Structure 1
């Protein structure tokens, strides 16, 4: 695999795995639901103590009998919820009221545990045999999981690697209409099976500015000269009451169209803002603007963009977003080049990517 991902330590850690999803039918669903209920209760019960400074070791001792085996992941989720609330200053006083909307439980991967301590799988001809550890009876709960057939060769290789203690995989069991299993596959293995070879381009660099209602792209060459600009619109998604699932599909479709366009014109590097360096979500005085910010899952779109770009054979660069929206350079780009504020942001993002690539050489 020749394509690369260049970014901060935080970003690179985030892109270690890709999640693939499948439906699962358990022989004893009620026992699995019992685990999920205990997991949810632990997460709810530990948010406030963690926020008040209680240590992970103290909470592990306190809640171990309630949820052995899965406790480590539950505490990690509680910590993630706290961090998310702290990103938005207006929610700091609502820590005690944090609600757990999703019903699931998870188990982290570990090479030493032959992939995962609590969730095991075995690839069969047209499905995957799943074993989930019952933390109280010390038994396994069996089920049949159905992934897309295209994933079975990948899972078979992951199974072999985990048996040799060469790779681990995280696993999540969720419940909505039906039980689902979500396996976290190493990104290198995912790309090995699903990436396509892209013809060598002309060394062009594309900067992306992701927004709630549009996707802006600016393409530059190695000298920083603007080659072309594009805006991919999906403005309907910001209307009140617009379905979230449909909004997500439209944004992802626009991103896919943009990447296909860039592949045709000879782009080799795509550049996004490194949102994993942003600790707080910025709000405005506009209620409608704040609604767009709240509903817009920008990190989710970024994650899809990075993985999609790598699959298509691009090199991906993640740059520090500081100064790409409000700065003297941003004002100068609008004034001197006649860009609107979003195209100006995409232009500065592309230039930052060019700067990082020049520093590496």
Structure 2
């Protein structure tokens, strides 16, 4: 049994809002779902297990699932090779109500004292010091943003501070990568004119742009256009696992040179060299990716981006309560306490300081 580690974790990505959205009854009252999160519920994250695991906060994704997901994604990713067709693009008018519901869930979580929605690094540090979970409102896939970007202003006013233009399937802004192994992200076209306008508006507001799920041409379009650090909240090293969702050394180098950030994704299909979404994945695979990304990006530009409640994670970690397993593995691997603190917490604070505008 691994003892609770004092190292706090700030995490680059979770899908707990999607999980709780599935618990909302037909009448649409989110309070019961949030109460279950506070008391303890299924999945990877809730309040009791967060306290056990040292989970201090992170990016809470607003994600609109596909109307027709096209089969069991995780089962297909058990095969030796796969190239899964992407779901159809979602229309703004269908995506917006779902996104608003998930935003409402996060606001209710704050109302019930489970989290605090943070709009500055000062907010995060004060919230963590108080023992409360610090939540960044993030959007994974911009289907709920209109071409005129009016909705972006509304979400920003509500607390949105991070946005990914795509979740793999195409949007009016960009194209994503499929779930394909072995493959890379050099698939499809780059940013659309609307996508370039979105990046400029995010830069002006100080909304962080998340490059995870974006295809390679889109990545380089953002790199050329954006005046902010390049950030991939939950991606891994293609050199270790040649999956389309992972980033090449050239992309990792660009992230480091921009003083940006990459968060280690715990999804086993993006960790394992064989690309399979199997829970029987050793923590040493996670360390291989960390070692490689630190070597290419630099130790100031790597952190964690678990994808809790959105993926199969290594069985030895299992859920947020198992985060000390990874911390202990880092220490046993020879990482210093100072480096562990950077990877687990401080690097996210620094890149957000470089990205967000003052509130």
Give the TM-score range, shorter chain.
under 0.3
Higher helix share: 1
Higher strand share: 1
Q: TM-score, length-normalised on structure 1?
A: 0.23
